[in-house]
Amino acid sequence: MARSKEEARARRRETPDSLAIFGGAPLFPEPLHIGRPNVGDREALVAHLDDILESRWLTNAGPKVREFERQFADWSGVEHCVATCNATVALEIAIRALGMEGEVIVPSATFVATAHALQWQQIRPVFCDIDPATQNIDPSAAQRLISPHTTGIIGVHLWGRACDVEALEALASENDLKLMFDAAHAVGCTYRGKRIGGFGDAEVVSFHATKVMNTFEGGAILTNNGELAEKVRLMRNFGFAGMDNVIHVGTNGKMSEMSAAMGLVSLDCFDDFVAANRNNYENYERRLRNLPGIKLLRYDETEENNYQYVVLDYTQGEGGISRDQLIDILWKENVRARRYFYPGAHRMEPYRTLYPEAGRNLPETERLLDRVICLPTGTAVDSADVDAICDVIECTINHSNEIARRLRAS
Ligand code: T4K
């Protein structure tokens, strides 16, 4: 019989028998995903849609895109914002515009798009280990990977927590390397009190549907370098400098008017999205702080954070429930917990085949990616959802011996 979400959540998970993996009814009647989009003011969005349809100007750097670029640049404290169809194409364009070639140093603990944006244009991603304290690229490990073929470094502000920008800027300038940041997770976050967007030669953000603010699909290149901004603008639009006048190789990386409209609405609602994320994060923290084997990734409260990822660092305890078994238990409850970014870009194709030895230099990366669990958050998740999810985790940890035995037996 179909049950409402409230009914399903209300039943406490206190004993193994109540868990769906052992035949109990799932916690949520429908899958509760990570990455349910944050949707802002619908009326405002519909009004934008009316404007767009009325004007019959749908794409090609129309008024909504220009307005979004202006607002997002001001909000980020950066001179130039070039909006794109997604962050992957933005990375590809920025990498090319900066003249990166040969080898570029990049973490493997990232979404595979960071590496693909290089490999796609025959540039070798040289995978660098992370600093376990920050979970971001380790500048001293990056230094050891510099070779005569290295032309750049791409740091990733993983989970929105800034890289060691200062050390990477010093390393890049001492070695005459280009420096970019994949800031896909870091919209609205700060480094030493300054909004992310203006560091290195350029930064790239993502406005994918699953991100803290979305434009359906979308991304942007942010930079304080006017010449670079001009170049990426050309490259985003096939290299056209005016009608019939192509002056550069280019691609189609344009953002549509409807996406820009969603961006304008999302920007207006950004504080509400972050408040919902923060509330969920604090509820998870309160519920999970004393559970053995579970460490919730903390954000630096002296900075601005968007709290869009709730990340657990899970250590298998004596009870013997593995990370993947805990995820399986959650999935059976319809909680779609994820193992971002397992198994690491270096263990995905084509990198696994091209660079089979890469893992030798990545012990911290592999250790982290074998332990991570990301939990649902965002405006589609409320505090009762968080409580119910934490009940399952608590029940699993508290009864881990019995659960592990029953799982082995089955
Ligand atoms: N660099 C980094 C560090 C990134 O994390 C990413 C993207 C990029 C670069 C590239 O940015 P884009 O080119 O995408 O702008 C998701 C996203 O697809 C991906 O954008 C994101 N990172 C990554 C962290 O997460 P998956 O593999 O988790 O699957 P996906 O997109 O199917 O979404 C997860 C769940 O969200 C779905 O199972 C259901 C739910 N969902 C998804 C969509 C699209 C919804 O409820 N509604 C939706 O509209 O990659």
Counting from 1 in the atom list of ligand 1, the atom nearest the Cα of 37 is 47
Say if CB 378 and CB 36 are below 8 A apart. Answer: yes
Print pLDDT tens along the chain (410 aa).
Answer: 446 777 666 667 788 999 999 998 999 999 999 989 999 999 999 999 999 999 999 999 999 999 999 999 999 999 999 999 999 999 999 999 999 999 999 999 999 999 999 999 999 999 999 999 999 999 999 999 999 999 999 999 999 999 999 999 999 999 999 999 999 999 999 999 999 999 999 999 999 999 999 999 999 999 999 999 999 999 999 999 999 999 999 999 999 999 999 999 999 999 999 999 999 999 999 999 999 999 999 999 999 999 999 999 999 877 789 999 999 999 999 999 999 999 999 999 999 999 999 999 999 999 999 999 999 999 999 999 999 999 999 999 999 999 999 999 88
pLDDT score at 128:
98
Q: What is the pTM of this model?
A: 0.96
In this structure, the answer to whether residues 60 and 127 fall within a common structural domain is: yes
Say if CB 176 and CB 292 are below 8 A apart. Answer: no
In this structure, the answer to whether residues 144 and 254 fall within a common structural domain is: yes
Q: By alpha-carbon position, which residue is closest to atom 14 of ligand 1?
A: 208
Distance CA 29, CA 277 (A): 23
In this structure, the answer to whether residues 79 and 103 fall within a common structural domain is: yes
In this structure, the answer to whether residues 205 and 108 fall within a common structural domain is: yes
Which residues sit opposite 223 in a β-bridge?
80
Comparing CA positions, the residue from 316, 315, 190, 208 lying closest to residue 255 is 208
Q: How far is the CA of 344 from the centre of ligand 1 (A)?
A: 16
H or E stretch including 190? strand 190-191
In this structure, the answer to whether residues 53 and 167 fall within a common structural domain is: yes
Distance CA 214, CA 30 (A): 23
In this structure, the answer to whether residues 137 and 189 fall within a common structural domain is: yes
Q: Is residue 96 part of a domain?
A: yes
Q: Which two tokens stand for residue 293?
A: 């084997």
**Last residue of some domain: 205, 236, 268?**
268
In this structure, the answer to whether residues 245 and 184 fall within a common structural domain is: yes
**CATH number of the domain that residue 179 is part of:** 3.40.640.10
Q: Is residue 101 part of a domain?
A: yes
Supply the range of the domain harboring residue 309: 5-30+270-409
In this structure, the answer to whether residues 382 and 278 fall within a common structural domain is: yes
Cis peptide before 350 (omega within 30 of 0): yes
By CB atoms closer than 10 A (0-12, 13-18, 19+), residue 298 is exposed
CB under 6 Å to ligand 1: residues?
33-37, 86-88, 110-111, 113-114, 156, 182, 184-185, 206, 208-210, 219, 340
**Last residue of some domain: 214, 245, 268?**
268
End-to-end CA distance of the chain: 27
| Residue to substitute in 119, 208, 213, 251 for testing ligand 1 pocket (most ligand atoms within 8 angstroms of CB) | 208
Q: Is residue 36 part of a domain?
A: no
In this structure, the answer to whether residues 137 and 167 fall within a common structural domain is: yes
In this structure, the answer to whether residues 109 and 65 fall within a common structural domain is: yes
**CATH number of the domain that residue 322 is part of:** 3.90.1150.10
Say if CB 152 and CB 159 are below 8 A apart. Answer: no
Q: Is residue 21 part of a domain?
A: yes
In this structure, the answer to whether residues 122 and 181 fall within a common structural domain is: yes
